[in-house]
Structures are given as C-alpha cells and as structure tokens.
Chains A and B, each alone.
Chain A
C-alpha cells in the first residue's frame, strides 16, 4: 500500500503516540483546523489552539514539559520561531543541562520549513543549521513520509527538546494551503518521491541515524529533506554522463551521524553537501569539519542556499539548490569540464 504525504504521516504518528500516552498534547496556532483529525479524536483539551504569541505558547510548552506533560508545540513555519527564540535557546535547551540532567524538557516542536513555492525569505527558510548549533537540541528533517512518521515516534519518546522539520514541498496539505497548487497553470519544482510500503503499525526510526539511499562510489553526496530527492535526480543524470554518486540522507541534523558520514566519505573519492539551509557557518561546514577532524581528506564542495530566498520563480531557483546546480558542482569537483 502506498502511504500518505509527509504531513498526514506525521499526524498519524502523533495519533498513535497520543493514544498510547495521555501526557502528549498539541499546542499551536490554527491547530483545530490544521490538525482536525487529531482534534476530532482527542478533543480540545489535548489539541489546544493558541493565539499568535509564539513566545508565550512555546514558553508555556517548556513549563508544561517541566510540569510532567510531553507537549508538541507547533510553530507554523520555522521562520516564525525567531520571535520565540529565547524560549528555545535559553529555556527548552538549557534547563536540562543547567540542572545537571535532573529536569529534562520532553517537548517536540513541529514546524514546516523550506522553499520553492514563491513565499520568499520570511516563510521559506530551512534554518536547521542554526538550530542544530544549540547544544542539547535534537533536530530532524526527514525526506520521506515513513521516516517522518518514525522519527516523530522517536522524538515523542525522547526525554529532551527536539524539532521536527516538515518540508513543505513534500506536503500536499501545505502546498495546497500556501502555493495554491489546485490552481491551473501553477507549477513548482516538486520532486518525484519514490512510493513507500506503508505498514499497519508505525515503527520508530532512530534519532541520529543517516541512511544511504544510493551507493555507487566516487562522489558522496550528503543531504536531507528535499535536497535528498534533488541529489537522487542529479545522481541519475550524472550516471548517464559518466560520474557515479552515493547519496546519503542524513535525516537527523543534530546529533549528526558522524560514524556514517565518516564511513561513507572514507569510501568515496570526493564529498559534496547539498543543503537547503544557508551555506556559511552551517551544516555543510560542520560536515567538512567532522571529516577533517577524523583525518578524512577529500575534495569537498557544497550546494546550499546562496542567501536570502527571493520571490520570483527564476530568482528563487537560482538561490535554492537545484538539480542543474548539483550536477554542475559535482562535475567541477571531479574535474569533468
């Protein structure tokens, strides 16, 4: 059976977890409408609508976690987290360490992320690199519905703060809602995603485990979320042009699967990172640093968001990682003209 899109997959995982654990509840803006399947099943005491006050309800999520609940706090778009960053950086992520682990904060933030549908800068960022820079925060950005569901289960069982990033291009719900994909004449570069076998009962996917999506040697391409699908398509094109690529889906940003990163990179001749987040000071640099620290010296390149994401379709495509950009960068890396 082919499964649902990433949003429905996460909703199903949440429903499975909520029915097993009374302490889990959902807080967020518009959640009664957006999560109506959860609302009808669990009621307004556990699917709680919040005012547009991210700072207050994210802070309340931390307090609720301290008080013994396991809240899921929805920050509609990860871009909006900036108005509540204190709650995440200074409270959610710090109370555990500052109490020497005596008081964990089991809270999952769920947020849509990513661009490529014309919302531009303030609604299209990835930001996972910045978030992964906060010590103690688990950050995941899955590329498939099944991984998204499995990681959701793991995060809801995790005794610390975490962020589940749900890429909008992988979500029918968000693309209909935001990009109006039901309109005629509207077309975005939504990647082809392979069908998945959807099980009767969802199983957790371990936090911090990358997965190799395609293993052919020569160039190792590390990516996550939509970037994985772009990398897979680029790898097919590159194969026809004579370059073989291995594609690794990191799935979790932090904690990074250092063992797999080093293992795969060590078996390849060159390393490339495809990252929809900003290039400087982020995930791509972290991977380079991890490899350098492990003594794995390989030619290295990255394809990342080149700056603030502009609105116009052609400008947006230039800034975000795309299949042509990946193909060109890999060929430059391996010295193919």
Chain B
C-alpha cells in the first residue's frame, strides 16, 4: 500500500455509494420498498476511508445503514436492489431487507439494533484471531450508540481480550431524531480513551483525513491492539426517510399546526416554552438537510479539480448499469 490514499479511487467509490443510496431512496419513494429506509448519505467519506485498508478476509459488523460499506467490501449492488425489492434472487432471498443484509462469504453482517455491532465485531475479531491470523473486524455505529451499555461493555471486552478490532463511530451528532449532545455525558473520545482504546478523531467529510486516521488503527488492530475512529459527518437524509423531523423540516406548517392544537389544552405561553426546546433540534435538522457544506463528495471533488466530473460520470454510469440490470430482472421500470 502506498503512503497516501488514491483520491481518485476513493472519490469514485464514494460516488458509487451516493448514487446507490439515491437509487434506494427513489425505489422507496416509488413505493417499491416496504418498511423504513435508513440511508448512508453523508457517511461515504468515513466508510470509504476505512474500508480502503481492509481485505476480504476482514469482517464487518454493520448497522442499519449497511449499503455503502457492503458496496465497498464487494457485495454486488444488484443483489441488494433485488433484496430490498423482496425478490427471491436478492442477497438474502428477500428475507432480510435493507437492515439485515448478510454476506457470509465476505464476513459482513448487519443489524437493525443500535449498538449491536460492537459486541458482534468483538466476536468476529475473536474468530479472526483464531482462524485468520492477521485479519481484523470492524464495527460501525453512530454516536447515538455510545449510550448503549453493550457498546461500552464491548469496548472493555476488546481491550481486556486484546482483540484485533476497530470500532468506527460515525458521529453525525444525531441519535435518531434527538441531538446526541443533549443526552451524552462527557465526550465519546474521552470515554473511549478511558477504556484504553487507541482513539483517533477525524473529519469524516474529508475522506483523505479518514484514510490517514484509520491506517494506524487498522495496522495496530492487526497485531491485537484495538482502536476506535470517531469521524464527524453529516446526515442530510434524516434518521430514516420521511421521519418526523424530516417531515417537519420539509413542511414547517405541520409544526405550526401542532403548536396551535396543543395551545387549546395548554396556556399559550407554556406551550411555546415547551416547544422552544425543539427549536435547536429543528434548526440543526434544517442545516443538515439544506446547507451544502461538509459533503465528503464535494470536498474530494474540489481537490480533484477538473478530473472529478469525468470520474463521477463514469462511476454513476457503472452503478446505474448494475441497478438497472437488477430492476430489469425484477420486472421493475428504471
């Protein structure tokens, strides 16, 4: 591996991830996908910067936004499209859906439960140490997960068992629709360091910064020194598509209507005061959705200059071919 990242390759990978999430969103909006839909838009820099250091012998414990990492690890986009369509030729024959995508061949598991990836990654790491020496496991979770007991238990386990594991905290400052800082004592990095984890903090919107921070963590994990990367990123698509906060941001009239309704039961001033606590939350949601800054794709594209456009076009076209192929197989119009 060279000393620095191959930004062109990372950018192309991130474009593939973004284009794929956009395809999933489109299928969901067309009503072709049942249930909730959690997208990894905004996390591409974190995922690409970490996975570039992994091989297909390394295990992945992914959360309910597993698709960017699965693409980077080599799962075919078509098999995921067929899965979310509920097709029998999908990755898990339509049994799993987007939150439960499993690839045993690539040692990649995913889960719909916040924080569950941390213990799973420890177990994958234990198996890695015994069966595939030199390989590691990586467990992804968000910042909301750090208040799950099992995550802190897993950090302890990783340290006392000296597991070849890297935890990756995609810190988008949201715990579902709650601002994490309101309900998290101390800091994530402070907590992690107190367990003795190798702890690095990186700007998750800068794929090169993530790549550089992840490299020593992955290298150390391969010799049994567990670590954690905490990477700040953005979450423009909400916790899930059309969740309550996203709907409010898109349609502020709803909020006014709710306030007016509650005022019939509550004295006006008290209702306004109660609502005031939500103001910061809504303001942050608006910022995440509409402000164009801190997009990992834009950051990388700026650095690539003229080369970015052609790379993006090629990556999008390649991904679209895979998606279209799967849609055709399922008899769904593109």
Chain A residues with a Cβ under 8 A of chain B: 23, 25, 45, 48, 50-51, 53, 55-69, 71, 86-87, 90-91, 94-95, 97-100, 102-103
When the two chains form the complex, which single residue of B113, B124, B150, B153 contacts A64, counting CB atoms closer than 8 Å?
B124
Within 8 A of A (CB), among B49-101: 59, 61, 92-96, 100
> Which chain A residue lies CB-closest to B123?
A63
CB distance A102 to B104 under 8 Å?
A: yes
The 8 Å CB contact of A95, one of B59, B109, B157, is B109
- The residue on A at minimum CB distance from B97 is A98
C-alpha gap A59/B123 in the complex (Å):
7
- Chain B contacts for A91, CB-based, 8 A: 111, 113, 116, 120
Is residue B107 contacting chain A, with contact meaning CB distance below 8 A?
yes
Instruction: Name A56's contact: one of B100, B107, B154 (CB within 8 Å).
Output: B154
The distance in angstroms between the C-alpha atoms of A90 and B140, with both chains bound, is 18
- Contact among A53, A68, A100 for B92, CB-based, below 8 A: A100
Given A60-B126, A63-B127, A94-B100, 4 extra CB contacts under 8 A: A69-B126, A90-B116, A91-B111, A100-B92
- The answer to whether B156 touches A63 (Cβ under 8 A) is no
Tell whether, in the assembled complex, residue A62 and residue B102 are in contact, meaning their CB atoms are under 8 Å apart: no
A99–B153 contact, CB under 8 A?
Answer: no
**Would you call A100 and B95 a contact (CB within 8 A)?**
yes
Number of interface residues of B (CB under 8 A): 38
Q: What's the Cα separation between A63 and B161 when bound, in Å?
A: 15
Among candidates B95, B121, B130, B154, residue contacting A99 with C-beta atoms closer than 8 Å: B95
Residues of A within 8 Å of B150, CB to CB, are 55-56, 59, 86-87
CA distance A87 to B149 in the complex (A): 13
- Is residue B131 contacting chain A, with contact meaning CB distance below 8 A? yes
Question: By the criterion CB–CB under 8 Å, are B123 and A45 in contact?
Answer: no
Residue-wise, chain B 145-180 has the 8 Å CB interface mask toward A (1 for contact) of: 000011001101100110000000000000000000
- Asked if B119 is an interface residue, CB under 8 A from chain A, the answer is yes
Identify which of B107, B130, B157 contacts A51 (C-beta below 8 A): B157
Q: B104 and A59: CB pair below 8 A?
A: no
Kindly list chain A residues whose C-beta atoms are within 8 Å of the C-beta of B126.
60, 63-64, 67, 69
- The secondary-structure label for the interface of chain A is helix
Given contacts A90-B113, A95-B102, contact A56 B127 (CB under 8 A): no
When chains A and B are docked, how far (Å) is the Cα of A58 from the Cα of B121?
Answer: 12
How far does the Cβ of B173 sit from chain A's closest Cβ, in whole Å? 25
Q: How far is the CB of B125 from chain A (nearest CB, A)?
A: 8
Whether A58 contacts B119 by the Cβ 8 Å rule is yes
CA gap between A23 and B118 in the complex, in Å: 22
Known: A64-B123, A102-B92, A103-B109. A59 touches B116 (CB 8 A): yes
B95, B131, B157: the one within 8 Å of A53 (CB): B157
B96 partner residues in chain A, CB cutoff 8 A? 98-100
Q: Which residue of B lies closest to A46 (CB)?
A: B130
Q: Can you list the 4 inter-chain pairs with the closest CB atoms, starting with the nearest?
A: A63-B123, A67-B127, A59-B119, A56-B153
Contact between chains at B120 and A66 (CB < 8 Å): yes
A-B contact pairs, 8 of them (CB 8 A): A50-B157, A60-B123, A66-B127, A68-B131, A95-B100, A98-B102, A100-B93, A102-B102
Shortest Cβ distance from A302 into chain B, in angstroms? 35
Are A63 and B102 closer than 8 Å at their CB atoms? Answer: no
Contact A51 B160 (CB under 8 A): yes
CB distance from B235 to the nearest CB of A (A): 24
Which residues does chain B contribute within 8 Å of A103, judged by CB atoms?
Answer: 102, 104, 109
Interface residues of B in 198-228 (CB under 8 A from A): none
Closest to A67 in B: B127
The one of A69, A86, A99 that contacts B113, using a Cβ cutoff of 8 Å: A86
Q: Which one, A56, A98, A99, contacts B122 given CB within 8 A?
A: A56
Chain B residues within an 8 Å CB radius of A25:
130
Q: Assess whether B39 is interfacial by the CB under 8 Å rule.
A: no
Nearest neighbor of B107 in chain A, beta-carbon distance: A67
The interface residues of chain A lying within 8 Å CB-to-CB of B160 are 51
Among residues of A, the one whose C-beta sits closest to the C-beta of B59 is: A67
What is the minimal beta-carbon distance from B88 to any residue of chain A, in angstroms?
Answer: 9
